[in-house]
Amino acid sequence: MRIVILGAGYSGTALALELVRLRPGLRPTLVESSARFGPGLAYGVSEERHSLNVRAGRMGAFADAPNDFARWSIGTADDAFSPRPAYGRYLEALLDAAHERVERMHGRAVAVSRANGEVAIRLADGRTVAADHVVLALGNPAPARPAFADAFGHHWVNDPWDLAARNKLAQRDGALLVLGTGLTMVDVVQSLRAAGHRAPMIALSRRGLLPNIHRAPRAWPPFLDDMQGAKLAKIVRRVRDEVDRAAAQGIDWRQVLEGARPSVQALWRTADPATRKRFLRWLRPYWDVHRHRLPRVPAVQVTRLRRSGVLRIEAGRVLAAERDHDSVHLTVALRGGGEIEHRVAGGINCTGPDHDYGRSQDPLLVQLLRDGLIARDPLGLGLVVDDAWRVVDAAGEPQAQISALGPPTRGAVWEITSVPDIREQVAELADRLTSGA
Ligand SMILES: Cc1cc2nc3c(=O)[nH]c(=O)nc-3n(C[C@H](O)[C@H](O)[C@H](O)COP(=O)(O)OP(=O)(O)OC[C@H]3O[C@@H](n4cnc5c(N)ncnc54)[C@H](O)[C@@H]3O)c2cc1C
4-63: pLDDT as tens digits? 999 999 999 999 999 999 999 999 999 999 999 999 999 998 789 899 999 999 999 999
Residue nearest to atom 27 of ligand 1 (CA): 139
351 by DSSP, 3-state: which?
coil
137 CA from centroid of ligand 1 (Å): 9
229-270: pLDDT as tens digits? 899 999 999 999 999 999 998 888 888 888 998 899 999 999
40 CA from centroid of ligand 1 (Å): 5
35 and 84 part of one domain = yes
203 and 309 part of one domain = yes
Final residue of a domain: which of 291, 306, 325? Answer: 291
Q: Which atom of ligand 1 is nearest to the CA of 36?
A: 49
C-beta separation of 138 from 123 below 8 A: no
CA distance 196 to 262: 42
147-188: pLDDT as tens digits? 999 999 999 999 999 999 999 999 999 999 999 999 999 999
303 and 337 part of one domain = yes
Q: Which atom of ligand 1 is nearest to the CA of 107?
A: 43
Close Cβ partners of 210 (under 8 Å, ≥ 6 residues apart): 181, 182, 289, 294, 302, 313
Close Cβ partners of 285 (under 8 Å, ≥ 6 residues apart): 205, 206, 207, 209
Residue 220 lies in a domain: no
Q: Which atom of ligand 1 is nearest to the CA of 140?
A: 30
C-beta separation of 110 from 124 below 8 A: yes
Helix (H) or strand (E) holding 320: strand 311-324
Residue 219 lies in a domain: no
Residue 116 lies in a domain: yes
Residue nearest to atom 32 of ligand 1 (CA): 139
205 and 314 part of one domain = yes
162 and 36 part of one domain = no
257 and 333 part of one domain = no
Residue 218 lies in a domain: no
Residue nearest to atom 20 of ligand 1 (CA): 10
122 and 230 part of one domain = no
Q: Is the pTM of this model over 0.85?
A: yes
160 and 244 part of one domain = no
CA distance 259 to 264: 10
Residue 421 lies in a domain: yes
Helix (H) or strand (E) holding 277: helix 273-278
Q: Give the mutation target among 67, 128, 419, 425 for probing the ligand 1 site: most ligand atoms within 8 A of CB.
A: 419
33 and 160 part of one domain = no
335 CA from centroid of ligand 1 (Å): 33
Residue 269 lies in a domain: yes
User: Once rounded to an integer, what is the mean pLDDT over residues 315-321?
Assistant: 97
Question: What is the CATH classification number for the domain harbouring 303?
Answer: 3.50.50.60
Q: What's the domain range around 270?
A: 225-291
| 217 pLDDT above the threshold of 70 | no
Q: Among residues of the chain, what percentage have pLDDT more than 90? A: 88
| 367 pLDDT above the threshold of 90 | yes
43-59: pLDDT as tens digits? 998 789 899 999 999 99
CA distance 396 to 382: 15
C-beta separation of 409 from 376 below 8 A: no
Residue nearest to atom 11 of ligand 1 (CA): 418
Query: pLDDT at position 214, please?
Result: 85
User: Once rounded to an integer, what is the mean pLDDT over residues 126-140?
Assistant: 97
* Complete edge-to-edge strand list for the sheet that includes strand 339-344: 156-157, 346-349, 176-179, 201-205, 311-324, 327-334, 339-344
Residue nearest to atom 41 of ligand 1 (CA): 109
Residue nearest to atom 38 of ligand 1 (CA): 138
| 436 pLDDT above the threshold of 80 | no
Residue 258 lies in a domain: yes
Final residue of a domain: which of 269, 291, 313? Answer: 291
286 and 302 part of one domain = no
| Ligand 1 pocket by Cβ (under 6 Å) | 6-12, 31-34, 40-42, 52-54, 108-109, 137-140, 364, 406-407, 417-419
194 CA from centroid of ligand 1 (Å): 24
243 and 363 part of one domain = no
Final residue of a domain: which of 283, 318, 349? Answer: 349
Query: pLDDT at position 220, please?
Result: 85
| Domains of the chain: total | 3
Query: pLDDT at position 144, please?
Result: 95
Residue nearest to atom 24 of ligand 1 (CA): 139
116-132: pLDDT as tens digits? 999 999 999 999 999 99
Q: Give the mutation target among 11, 15, 41, 95 for probing the ligand 1 site: most ligand atoms within 8 A of CB.
A: 41
Residue 254 lies in a domain: yes
399 and 254 part of one domain = no
11 CA from centroid of ligand 1 (Å): 7
CA distance 426 to 422: 6
Close Cβ partners of 230 (under 8 Å, ≥ 6 residues apart): 267
Query: pLDDT at position 258, please?
Result: 87
Q: What does each C-alpha distance from 418 to 10, 17, 97, 289, 425 come to in angstroms?
A: 10, 18, 24, 15, 11
The chain-wide mean pLDDT, for the chain, equals 95
18 CA from centroid of ligand 1 (Å): 17
200 CA from centroid of ligand 1 (Å): 30
Q: Give the mutation target among 5, 11, 94, 129 for probing the ligand 1 site: most ligand atoms within 8 A of CB.
A: 11
Helix (H) or strand (E) holding 384: none
